[in-house]
Amino acid sequence: MLIAHAERYVALRQALGFKLREVSMNIRAFAKFATARGDTHVRVSTAVDWATQGSSPNVRYIRLRDVVQFGRFLHAENPAHEVPVNLFHFTRRRRLPYIYAPEELEKLVEAANHLRLTYPLRREVYATMFGLIAATGLRVSEALNLGLGDIMPGGILRIRNAKNGKSRLVPLHPTAVTAINRYLEARCQMAVTDDHVFLSAGGRRIASSTVGSTFHRVMRLAGIAPARTRKPRIVDLRHSFATRALVQCPTRREAVARHFVALATYMGHTDIASTYWYLEATPELLTDIAAAAEALIATTEGI
C-alpha cells in the first residue's frame, strides 16, 4: 500500500513541474523499507529508523525531511498516517570559490588547445566550452546540454530546462560570439547525427565526469594554483563570472538593485539569495560594502 502511495505522490508532484530526482529515490526507498517491516501507514518510528541509516547528518536530515513531506500529504487524506518531526540538524557550508584572474583564464583556454588529440575536435571542444562558461557563468550542465538550435541569431544562447526546470536567454559578448562561431565552423564539419554543440569522442553529449577529469588535466597543463590543497574547480568559472560582474556594480542604491536582478536573471538563479552569496566571495566586494556602510552611518549621524 505504501509503495503505491509513494508512486502516486511522486507522479502528482512531477506533474506539477517538480523533478524530484533525489526525493523520488528517497520516498521509494522509505516505502520499501516500511513495507518490509509490515507497515501500511507512515509511522514516526519507522521514518526515524530509516533516516538514521543515512551516511551523514545532512543525509539523515534530507531523508527525514522528504518523509515528513510525504507523511503530511498522506495525513491530509487519512489521519492514520503519522507526520514525523525532523530530529536531525542540517548544516550547509558553501565552499568559498576560487576566483580566477583574467590571465589564468587565458592560460586555461590556451592549455585546452594543447590537450592530447584523442579525437579530431577535442581541443576545440574544451577550449570553447571552458571559455564560454567563464564568459557567461553557465552551469556545466547547461553548456553540455546546448543544442545547435540553441545558438540563436544575434549572439543569444537559449538555455532550456535548466536547474529547477527554468529556461532563459543568455546574450553573449561579441568576443564570445566570435569564439563560438569559429568553433561551430569546425563542429559542423563532423559527420554526426547528435545535435549537441559539444561532442565526445563517440560523437555524443559529453558526460559530466569526463568534463571534470579533463578540466583537472587542463588545470595541470596551465599550471594554475599548483600549491593549493583544495584545487580550483570548474564551477569556480561560474563563480568568477558572478563576482567580477558584482565588482563592476554601480554604487547607487537603485543601480545596485537593478544590477542584482539582472545578474540573477542572467545566471538563472531562482532565489536572489543565491546571488547575494557572491558578495562575500572577494575582498574587493567586502571592502566596498564596509565603505558604503560607514558612509551611510556617517550620513545618518549628521541628521
What CATH number does the domain containing 223 carry? 1.10.443.10
Together in a domain, 158 and 205: yes
Together in a domain, 271 and 189: no
Nearest to 27 by CA among 80, 88, 71, 57: 71
The three grid cell numbers given for residue 62, joined into one nine-digit string: 534530507
Q: In the predicted model, what is the mean pLDDT of the chain?
A: 86
Helix, strand, coil % in the chain, rounded to nearest 5: 60, 5, 35
For residue 288, is it within any domain? yes
Quick check: pTM over 0.85?
no
For residue 85, is it within any domain? no
Together in a domain, 196 and 224: yes
- Among 205, 233, 261, the domain boundary falls at 233
Sign of the torsion angle spanned by Cα atoms 191, 194, 200, 203: negative
Sign of the torsion angle spanned by Cα atoms 174, 179, 185, 187: negative
Cα–Cα dist 286/281, whole Å: 8
**Grid cell 514525523 — which residue?**
84
For residue 133, is it within any domain? yes
Together in a domain, 15 and 124: no
pLDDT tens-place string over residues 267-301:
887 665 666 666 655 556 556 655 655 665 565 55
Domain that holds residue 212: 102-233
Together in a domain, 112 and 200: yes
Together in a domain, 111 and 189: yes
For residue 202, is it within any domain? yes
For residue 158, is it within any domain? yes
pLDDT tens-place string over residues 1-56:
899 999 999 999 888 877 788 899 999 999 999 999 999 999 999 999 999 999 88
For residue 220, is it within any domain? yes
Together in a domain, 190 and 227: yes
- Number of domains present in the structure of the chain: 3
- Among 191, 216, 233, the domain boundary falls at 233
Q: What is the average pLDDT across 63-71?
A: 94
Q: What are phi and psi of 32, to 5 degrees?
A: -70, -40
User: What CA–CA distances, in Å, run from 296 to 8, 230, 257?
Assistant: 55, 38, 17
Together in a domain, 227 and 268: no
Together in a domain, 174 and 267: no
- Among 207, 233, 259, the domain boundary falls at 233
